[in-house]
Amino acid sequence: MTKEYKTIVEVSGPLIFLDKTEPVGYGELVQINLPDGTTKRGQVLDTSADMVVVQVFEGTVGLNEESGVVFSGETIKLPVSKDMLGRILSGAGEPLDGGPRIVPDERVDVNGAAMNPYSRMPPEDFIQTGISTIDGTNSLVRGQKLPIFSGAGLPHNEIALQIARQAKVPGSDEDFAVVFAAMGITNEEAQYFMEDFEKTGALERAVVFLNLADDPAVERIITPRMALTAAEYLAYEHDMHVLVILTDITNYCEALRQMGAAREEVPGRRGYPGYMYTDLASLYERAGVIKGLKGSVTQFSILTMPGDDITHPIPDLSGYITEGQIVVSRELHRKGIYPPINVLPSLSRLMNSGIGDGKTRDDHKAVSDQMYAAYAEGRDLRGLVAIVGKEALSERDRKILEFADLFEDRFVRQSRDEDRTIDDTLRVAWEILSELPEAQLTRIDNKYIEKYHPAHQKTSE
């Protein structure tokens, strides 16, 4: 069965070409035995009666025509078990923490299958992250995929960690796990995450997959699939609520482009492959909740926008697949505001189904819309003030301008370990909104103004 072929006719970048094989399945896992005794792994990309193309995960250094190739007869599978919790694995699923190999309950195809839209449960359980700019204005719900769009040098890792620490569904204490997949991040960054996980005890409830910057780029293509397979297993077989953190999607896409170039494919925008949308969708879409099952997979990926450009293909295609995005702003970061989340380009598409009466509070949406509208106008006025000076503004405009400052200073800014409840967040929101004249609050129904506006509270008491 385990026939070894020594029929390599061409090696080109991460690809090897073989001829004269028995029929080989598309996507099969391959082992390559080098003459020096080392082994590498790969996957079949193209198979025909005459020629088989294999993509080698660990790079093709040292490969030659003498090397032997063994086809496994099956696609890439991840051994899964509940014992994975607390373990640190390589980007290809091998233990890195010196512990024993995972004794599998099951071996699952890492590509997964598409969830039947009919089986999906529309996500609606509000997750409280303790960060006002997320809970208040871009609420996250269970089963959502909400990436952080960031830039080099911005504190996205801190934000992700703060969320991983604080995220909870108010009033529930269900089983919870974190799956963390590092794709091409530096050793230092990985250490930072590991230390935080260990310090807070989160590691016990986490599965970590590490593909670091100096690991082969090709391996990066399977790392997130491994992580999501583990997450799905924990969620749907063990009823856990799994938060998946993938970092950094940009490195993943770079690896995808590298592979595309090696395969001499026709490139799409900026050299990224034309199928990048479909490929990213096959990752992001593996979030959700299934009707009748208890667990859920929520994705919180980190993506650094090259040159802070949100129209770059990677954030652009991601934005079309994910249910919104949290945008980290360099401008706010420079002002010394943490977390420097700019709510204007940020969005949570599932917010409306997760908030409101019985979930958060009846006035939540109106308050959020009002703050958005006023803050957007205030930011525009800043541009105007730079030209004409504050004096030229009308009284109304001056109030709005002040609101924008208050919003950044009181609502956005919070400390790195400040875990605000949703009530705290809405209280801060009303405090700053009450600085505006009541007639300006056109987005808020009168009944909420009467119920929650601080001025009315005093008169009623």
The alpha carbon dihedral of 136, 138, 144, 148 has a sign of negative
Report which of 163, 97, 175, 109 is spatially closest to residue 135, judged by C-alpha positions: 163
Residue 317 dihedral angles phi and psi, to the nearest 5°: -65, -40
Question: Quick one: 197 or 448, whose CB is closer to other proteins?
Answer: 448
Question: Quick one: 123 or 339, whose CB is closer to other proteins?
Answer: 123
Is residue 320 close enough to count as binding other proteins by CB under 8 A? Answer: yes
Contacting residue, 92, 245, 317, 367, with other proteins by CB under 8 A? 317
CA distance 158 to 336: 14
* Distance of alpha carbon 202 from the chain centroid: 18
Contacting residue, 65, 106, 195, 265, with other proteins by CB under 8 A? 265
Residue 113 dihedral angles phi and psi, to the nearest 5°: -130, 155
Question: Quick one: 291 or 416, whose CB is closer to other proteins?
Answer: 291
Please state whether beta strands 288-289 and 296-299 pair in parallel, antiparallel, or not at all (unpaired).
antiparallel
The answer to whether the CB of 83 falls within 8 A of the CB of 24 is no
Three-state DSSP state, 83: helix
Burial class (CB in 10 A: 0-12, 13-18, 19+), 310: middle
Shortest distance (Å) from residue 75 CB to other proteins: 5
Site residue total, other proteins (CB under 8 A): 87
Shortest distance (Å) from residue 432 CB to other proteins: 17
Residue 3 burial (CB count, 10 A):
10
Is residue 269 close enough to count as binding other proteins by CB under 8 A? Answer: yes
Binding mask 383-422 for other proteins (x = CB under 8 A): xx--xx---xxx--x-------------------------
CA distance 369 to 445: 12
Shortest distance (Å) from residue 371 CB to other proteins: 9
Is residue 144 close enough to count as binding other proteins by CB under 8 A? Answer: yes
List the beta bridge partners of residue 108. Answer: 78
Give the footprint of other proteins on residues 332-391 (CB under 8 A): 344-345, 347, 349-350, 352-353, 365, 369, 372-373, 376-377, 383-384, 387-388
CA distance 72 to 253: 27
Shortest distance (Å) from residue 38 CB to other proteins: 27
Question: Quick one: 96 or 347, whose CB is closer to other proteins?
Answer: 347
Question: Quick one: 128 or 325, whose CB is closer to other proteins?
Answer: 325
* Helix orientation angle between 313-321 and 276-284, rounded to the nearest 10 degrees: 50
CA distance 207 to 89: 8
The answer to whether the CB of 235 falls within 8 A of the CB of 174 is no
Piece in contact with other proteins (CB under 8 A), picked from 46-54, 164-172, 250-258, 417-425: 46-54
Is residue 136 close enough to count as binding other proteins by CB under 8 A? Answer: no
8-state DSSP, 350: T
Question: Quick one: 184 or 288, whose CB is closer to other proteins?
Answer: 288
Is residue 213 close enough to count as binding other proteins by CB under 8 A? Answer: no
Is residue 436 close enough to count as binding other proteins by CB under 8 A? Answer: no
Contacting residue, 158, 275, 435, 451, with other proteins by CB under 8 A? 275
Is residue 45 close enough to count as binding other proteins by CB under 8 A? Answer: yes
Is residue 268 close enough to count as binding other proteins by CB under 8 A? Answer: yes
Three-state DSSP state, 147: coil
CA distance 229 to 243: 13
Piece in contact with other proteins (CB under 8 A), picked from 179-187, 308-316, 400-408, 419-427: 308-316
Question: Quick one: 177 or 367, whose CB is closer to other proteins?
Answer: 367
End-to-end CA distance of the chain: 83
Give the footprint of other proteins on residues 147-206 (CB under 8 A): none
Question: Quick one: 162 or 346, whose CB is closer to other proteins?
Answer: 346
Give the footprint of other proteins on residues 54-83 (CB under 8 A): 74-75
* Distance of alpha carbon 23 from the chain centroid: 38
Question: Quick one: 197 or 272, whose CB is closer to other proteins?
Answer: 272
Shortest distance (Å) from residue 85 CB to other proteins: 23
CA distance 451 to 122: 30
Structure tokens at 126: 């509000």
Give the footprint of other proteins on residues 2-31 (CB under 8 A): 23-28
Shortest distance (Å) from residue 373 CB to other proteins: 5
Contacting residue, 37, 98, 118, 214, with other proteins by CB under 8 A? 118
8-state DSSP, 121: P
Question: Quick one: 90 or 353, whose CB is closer to other proteins?
Answer: 353
